[in-house]
A and B are shown apart, each in its own frame.
Chain A
Amino acid sequence: MTRTRNTFLVIMITLALSGWPPVFGQAETGPDSAELDTLAQLYDAVAFDHAAHVEMVEGNCARCHHHTTGVAPTNPKCLRCHPGGQEADSMACKDCHSEKRFESAYLAEIAANTDRFHTDIPGLKGAYHRNCLGCHQESGGPTGCADCHARNEKGDAFFSSGKYAPKSPQKTSGH
């Protein structure tokens, strides 16, 4: 029973974090590594060392996967509705944090569903960056954009940098 369940969990996490099954690690701690590539446009995909992060948080999965792992939330405001901390159906970031946060359809859905309490859920991009960068800033991890994901050529063009950098520095225009 546990075995089936664990296997199921691993598959869920794997599917959630990457497009294809990565190297499997211990079932309890999820995959060893994952490629975060669903949003990769200006940057290459993030090669996320899951195992290393599991070690860093000393096995406290809820440090990143907040209340979805079955660990009770610590915030008293969350506890009012989520006492004890039920394990969620999915631990995948993108099952709650929409990739399509800014599309009209998503905005309309949020607006139409008046019973919904959590109307302020960040999208997938926001969730990744706030979760990762927030912790990296606190714990002294790398915080530069390219420290986690290398910028590709499209990104260079976007930021007018690299070979797309302005040729000669001109005088900054006034008002």
Chain B
Amino acid sequence: MKKLNRRFFLKGGMAGTALLADTGLAKKASAADTFGGYPDSMGVLVDFTKCVGCRSCEAACNKEQGLPAPDKPFDYMSVFDERHKGQKRRTTEKAYTVVNRYNIKDREQGPVFRKFQCNHCNEPACLTSCFVNAYTKTKEGAVIYDPTVCVGCRTCMIACPFYVPAYSYSNPINPVIKKCIMCYDTRLKFGRPPACVEACPQEVMTFGKRKDLIKLGHNRIQKNPEKYIDHLYGEKEVGGTAWMYMSDVPFEELGFNTHLGEQPIISYVKEFLTIVPMVLTIWPALFTGFYLLANRKEAFKNEKPSGNE
């Protein structure tokens, strides 16, 4: 009777594992689907051919977000020559957006100025990497975060393919992540564009629905094929971003990573991550069961002679 039970149990166990493996596979298949962003989310189209490097956007961001005073006034153009460990300026806890100058060889109009800030991905890597769920992708398109939840682990800084999130290193008690929130609280929520967009004298940035901006961008390229590179950076990169860029020089020359691929960062780990809960919950119980059963047989064998005596 006991033997039968054991066999039955093992059989059931095998079937269960097979079933789990099956559902795991089914999940894998659906993991190929990507979210693709909210349908009516907003975005910004940045046209580098129009930027003159006046840094008004930086000043506007500073005022709108109530950031601390800058190290140098916003009309100092010497910042374009700054190098931090050999790198051009990047976003910090004091500056959610920065403009950098790229000297392009043989470009008639002179250097290209590139504005840099959070790209507000459709499927943000920072969001998926955050284990306290501090991040939210709003239906308006902004990637915002709750600093009261942030524990300051900096995983998102490593996850972000664009190296955007900055860290409040100056705060020794409770350092948190700092980054552009597309002026969500003060503007985007009410249908208004971010402060930098409105401050720009050259109207380098166009604000609108992301899907309209894609059309507009391609239209602009089509009308001026001799001017623009035929690529809207951010349309497809890492699953699409709310901020998209057009340029007359190859994007690599402006410090863009053009090898990120079109898959959202999460799709690289999705398959693995779906197995983790299964492994963590079922495997210990299953293998402990196996172990106990195996040992029980041994114990039964050992007990037998003593029983006969």
Cross-chain contact A102 with B207 (CB below 8 angstroms):
yes
Name B109's contact: one of A120, A137, A164 (CB within 8 Å).
A137
Cross-chain contact B74 with A126 (CB below 8 angstroms):
no
Cross-chain contact A104 with B191 (CB below 8 angstroms):
yes
**For residues 121 through 173 of chain A, which have their beta carbon under 8 Å from a beta carbon of chain B?**
122-123, 125-126, 129-130, 133, 137, 143, 145, 158-162, 164-166, 169-173
Interface residues contributed by chain A, number (CB under 8 Å) = 35
Name the B residues within 8 Å of A122 (CB-CB). Answer: 203
Interface status of A101 (Cβ within 8 A of chain B) = yes
Cross-chain contact B93 with A173 (CB below 8 angstroms):
yes
Cross-chain contact B202 with A133 (CB below 8 angstroms):
yes
- CB proximity of B234 to chain A, nearest CB, Å: 18
Name the B residues within 8 Å of A170 (CB-CB). Answer: 71
Name the A residues within 8 Å of B219 (CB-CB). Answer: 120
Give the interface size class of chain B. Answer: 35 or more
Cross-chain contact A166 with B52 (CB below 8 angstroms):
no
Name the B residues within 8 Å of A3 (CB-CB). Answer: none
Name the A residues within 8 Å of B192 (CB-CB). Answer: 102-104
Name the B residues within 8 Å of A119 (CB-CB). Answer: 216
Name the B residues within 8 Å of A57 (CB-CB). Answer: none
Name the B residues within 8 Å of A173 (CB-CB). Answer: 92-94, 169-170
* A101-114 vs B, Cβ < 8 Å mask (1 yes, 0 no): 11110010011000
Cross-chain contact A166 with B63 (CB below 8 angstroms):
no
Interface status of B75 (Cβ within 8 A of chain A) = yes
Cross-chain contact B198 with A160 (CB below 8 angstroms):
no
Query: Can you name the residue of chain B whose Cβ is closest to the Cβ of A103?
Result: B192
Distance A120 CA – B224 CA, assembled complex (angstroms): 13
Residues of A within 8 A of B (CB): 77, 101-104, 107, 110-111, 119-120, 122-123, 125-126, 129-130, 133, 137, 143, 145, 158-162, 164-166, 169-175
Residues of B within 8 A of A (CB): 50, 52, 54-56, 59-60, 62-63, 69-76, 82, 84, 90, 92-94, 109, 157, 166-167, 169-170, 190-193, 197-198, 200-203, 206-209, 212, 216, 219-220, 223
